[in-house]
């Protein structure tokens, strides 16, 4: 699995102005965390979560495409390898977030906790081998 954090830059959606700058920031963060590592083989899953302190108009479905495009060729050969994608936005001013319960890898836990406490914009990205058990339906939590 490859995971990394991008901080200090607001994400851009597909077709937005300055998307090229955003993709470069994502690629740089990936390279800092995993530069030189061989691309992942086979079918993959991806998780992209945007933690933000200010309201945003960014749609979750438009969030992940430029991120996955930015790491194509480094994290994996072709973004067609990503067969399952989870993408979301989380407004830190409206929700209490317990990172320990989110399954953040130990190696990134402190960095993500610090970033979400201090930064207006924090993006968490995770890509890894796909397993059929990752496909889940009926996720609703009864209230």
pLDDT of 37-47, one tens digit each? 999 999 999 99
Sign of the Cα pseudo-torsion (3, 26, 38, 77, in order): positive
Q: Could you say which DSSP state residue 123 is in?
A: E
- pLDDT for 10: 87
Q: Which fold has domain 2-34+41-131?
A: 60s Ribosomal Protein L30; Chain: A; (3.30.1330)
- pLDDT for 120: 92
Of 46, 103, 101, 89, residue with least CA distance to 70: 46
DSSP codes joined into one string, 8-75:
SS----TT-TTHHHHHHHHHHHHHHHHTTPPPBPSSEEEEEEEEESS-----HHHHHHHHHHHHBTTT
- pLDDT for 61: 84
- pLDDT for 106: 83
- pLDDT for 109: 87
- pLDDT for 14: 75
Q: Could you say which DSSP state residue 105 is in?
A: -
The answer to whether residue 100 scores a pLDDT higher than 70 is no
Question: Where along the chain do its domains lie?
Answer: 2-34+41-131
Q: Which residues pair with 52 in a beta bridge?
A: 91, 121
Of 97, 88, 38, residue with least CA distance to 67: 88
Each residue's pLDDT tens digit, 8-33: 888 987 777 778 899 999 999 999 99
Residue bearing the bigger pLDDT, 120 or 101: 120
pTM of the model: 0.92
- pLDDT category of residue 69 using cuts at 50, 70 and 90: very high
- pLDDT for 31: 97
The answer to whether residue 6 scores a pLDDT higher than 90 is yes
Read off the pLDDT of each residue in 133-138 and give the average, rounded to a whole number. 91
The full length of the chain comes to 143
């Amino acid at each position: 699995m490859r995971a990394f954090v991008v901080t200090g830059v607001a994400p851009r959606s597909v077709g937005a102005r300055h998307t090229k700058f955003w993709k470069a920031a994502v690629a740089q963060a990936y390279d800092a965390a995993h530069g030189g590592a061989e691309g992942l083989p086979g079918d993959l899953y991806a998780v992209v979560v945007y933690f933000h302190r200010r309201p945003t108009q960014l749609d979750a479905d438009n969030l992940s495409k430029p991120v996955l495009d930015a790491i194509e060729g480094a994290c994996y050969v072709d973004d067609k390898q990503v067969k399952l994608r989870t993408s979301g936005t989380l407004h830190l001013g409206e929700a209490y977030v317990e990172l320990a319960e989110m399954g953040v890898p130990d190696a990134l836990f402190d960095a993500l906790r610090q970033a979400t406490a201090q930064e207006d914009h924090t993006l968490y990205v995770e890509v890894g081998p796909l397993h059929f058990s990752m496909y889940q339906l009926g996720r609703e939590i009864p209230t």
